Structure 1
Amino acid sequence: MRKILLALLVSTIGFSQNKPFAKGADVGWLPQMEATGYKFYDTDGKEKDCLQLLKDRGMNSIRLRVWVNPNNDKASGHCSKEETIIMALRAQKMGFRIMIDFHYSDSWADPAKQFKPKAWSNHSFPELLNDVYNHTFDVINALKVAGVTPEWVQIGNEIPGGMLWPDGSTNHWDQLGQLLNKGYDAVKAVDKNIKVIVHVDEGNNNAKFRTFFDNATRQKVRYDVIGLSYYPFWIKKDYTEVIADLEFNLNDMVKRYGKEVMIVEIGGEDDKVENTYQLLATAIKAVKNVPNNKGLGVFYWEPQGARSWSHYNLSAWQADGKPSPALDAFKE
């Protein structure tokens, strides 16, 4: 009897440690949208807080990008440490879990561009290592002091070619590995329970992921979660053509590297509501089906970033200021 009770206790403890599946949104544009007077409406036509609209559609997590010394440009600026803290506090008060995404740049960093922040542009590689550590620690510690401890932190944004070019490009994997580990160490110095994500684009491209994470393994890069972007639109495919490749890659990453996986960016065309709904539903199912609860969640990139404001066609917001029905895929 005692053994049975002990087994039940262990299984209960284990179950309680499995957090709910993360269903999230990156909303870095939201403060600027509100500051420029953009209004958000529910399906009944009543004005409502955008975060509440996302929560009503089943979302429980928010992702926020951080730039080092951003400008004030409406679409390509903001996202400073101070603004990030304000947004993180606001989201946490509404019950959202928080992900922080470090670009290590003054503006967008992605596979096509990984520009150093201007303040770091003439720094030596040893100085860059300190820059990454100090910037990462400063932001995460400031969040913690303010009362928000993020659940996840990304060290770099879509970095198949590395970051902080040229020093941290994949032409210098030994240096990229050191930079990533400095970010990891800074996060863990604030709170060892925060999960560190390393993020690569084209989540359906297994060869790209194996190449990157095999190199990361050789360099002894420390991280907890493999983050994927999944945008069939950008590779000019329908999701039905590549969903099997996504499923294979998710499972292969877990088996090959022993890590958890997460889609940290996804999006579909705003004028193809049913297709985007199905894209989301199938991607969520694929991540949930990863064995042993190793698939952690799915985040839509800027669902509220309506095209009328952002000129971005992969949001999930309608011209009338209301959320797209495609977001209903996040509901249970």
Structure 2
Amino acid sequence: MKRFKNILMASALLCGAFFTACDDNDDKPVFPENQDQAYDMSGFAKGADVSWLTEMEKEGYKFYDAEGNGHECMSLLRDLGMNAIRLRVWVNPDQGWSEEEGFFNPGGWCDKDDVVTKAWRAHNLGYRIMIDFHYSDIWADPGRQEKPAAWADLSFDELKQAVADHTTEVLSAIKARGIDVEWVQVGNETRTGMLKPDGAASSGKTANFAQLVTAGYDAVKTIYPEAKVIVHIDQGNNPNRYIWLFDGLKADGGKWDVIGMSLYPEPDTEDWRQLNNDCIANMKSLIERYHTPVMMCELGIYWNYEEAEEFFTDFMTKAKEIDQCLGVFTWEPQSYGGWKGYHKGLFDDTGKPTNAFNAFKR
């Protein structure tokens, strides 16, 4: 028990979280937020990716309710309607690219230890948890799916083993803390494949991509047999992207449990209502075509867009009506003040929640 207490105290000091002393009969920390309030953390997932949180806390960012009272961020998000947390994992973030290229990541943020720290905090607030493996030292998305530097010279068989080993190592560290994981993403926004060039589906290496996905899938099931494995791509409103990728995965024997999506309307140039409707229609079509559930893993729009609350409410309402839509996650809602150049959070520039959170309280 003393070991757990020391870890919690160290984490609190490092991250700026508002932990208090542990109960002598429990290894869980006590949070000051609304201890007598009951929270429903079941059912439709209303989630937040807060992977930047510990780095923001280290930089001195604070989080406030609408009245300006300070709160620990995950506790505040729970009060604002969230019941699930998503956390990304990078292999060796100290190998990130130069700051001039954007999103330089010094100091190991989003490595195994950082993810365990955040997962532990989320777990002790009753959150359900999603782990998002990028299988890269830094951001993985449709335009950049680079292998970790340490994996650069591996053969393809060795690369599959590295995927399995990395997945196993991180999930084992999380499980060792008694934390349950409900969903695991095997790759992030893998519309063009992952771990390029070996797994470049867009270059015809669809069979390789399927084998890499399956290596991650099998590793997940070894540690968390009940966890749902997600294959996640962007532009949820574009059915052709999904049909091409998932038809290929199916033909090549790739494994998945859930189809994950991203959607980020640009309201100056796009009609968000049409994008929402197209995405909802795509969800229904994919459920029927592949007989697997779907989930919105990343949803965002500019925090100061005058119709932001309407956008989120519209999407959440329609997604909940789909029997096999498991939930909706918004991406880094706690970001504010132009953190890392990102402006699609749900807090205003003073660190207070916007009305868009109302969509997650319903």
TM-score, with normalisation over the residues of structure 2?
0.83
Equivalent in the alignment of 1:47: 70
Equivalent in the alignment of 2:341: 311
Q: Encode CA deviations 1:178-218: one digit per residue, 9 max, x unaligned.
A: 00000000000012100000001000001111111111110
In 2: Cα distance, 1:113 partner to 1:86 partner: 27
Alignment of 1:94-243 (within 5 A): 94-170=125-201, 171-233=204-266, 236-243=269-276
Alpha carbons 1:66, 1:101 under 8 Å: kept: yes
Structure 1 residue corresponding to 2:318, chosen from 271, 283, 286: 286
Q: Which amino acid aligns with 2:360?
A: F
Alpha carbons 1:53, 1:323 under 8 Å: kept: no
Equivalent in the alignment of 2:330: 300
Structure 2 residue corresponding to 1:88, chosen from 119, 139, 147: 119
Q: Which amino acid aligns with 1:198?
A: V
Q: CA deviation at 1:280?
A: 1.1
Q: Which amino acid aligns with 1:204?
A: N
Q: Encode CA deviations 1:259-302: one digit per residue, 9 max, x unaligned.
A: 00000000011111x41211211211222121xx3110000000
Q: CA deviation at 1:308?
A: 3.3
Equivalent in the alignment of 1:253: 286
Equivalent in the alignment of 2:53: 30
Percent of counterpart pairs with the same letter?
44
In 1: Cα distance, 2:337 partner to 2:252 partner: 41
Q: Equivalent residue of 2:275, what SS? A: helix
Q: CA deviation at 1:307?
A: 3.3
**Per residue, is there more helix in 1 or in 2?**
1
Alpha carbons 1:316, 1:327 under 8 Å: kept: yes
TM-score, with normalisation over the residues of structure 1?
0.91
Q: Which amino acid aligns with 1:51?
A: M
Q: Equivalent residue of 1:167, what SS? A: coil
Q: Which amino acid aligns with 2:355?
A: P
Larger RCO, structures 1/2 (Cα 8 Å, 6+ apart): 1
In 1: Cα distance, 2:238 partner to 2:337 partner: 28
In 1: Cα distance, 2:268 partner to 2:141 partner: 15
In 1: Cα distance, 2:240 partner to 2:302 partner: 26
In 2: Cα distance, 1:71 partner to 1:285 partner: 41
Q: Equivalent residue of 1:62, what SS? A: strand
Structure 2, unmatched stretches of 5+, are: 1-41
Which of 307-316 and 257-266 deviates more? 307-316
In 1: Cα distance, 2:240 partner to 2:218 partner: 28
Q: Equivalent residue of 1:132, what SS? A: helix
Structure 1, unmatched stretches of 5+, are: 1-18
Q: CA deviation at 1:79?
A: 0.1
In 2: Cα distance, 1:228 partner to 1:189 partner: 25
In 1: Cα distance, 2:242 partner to 2:234 partner: 9
Q: CA deviation at 1:325?
A: 1.3
Runs of 4+ in 1 over 3 A off after TM superposition: 72-76
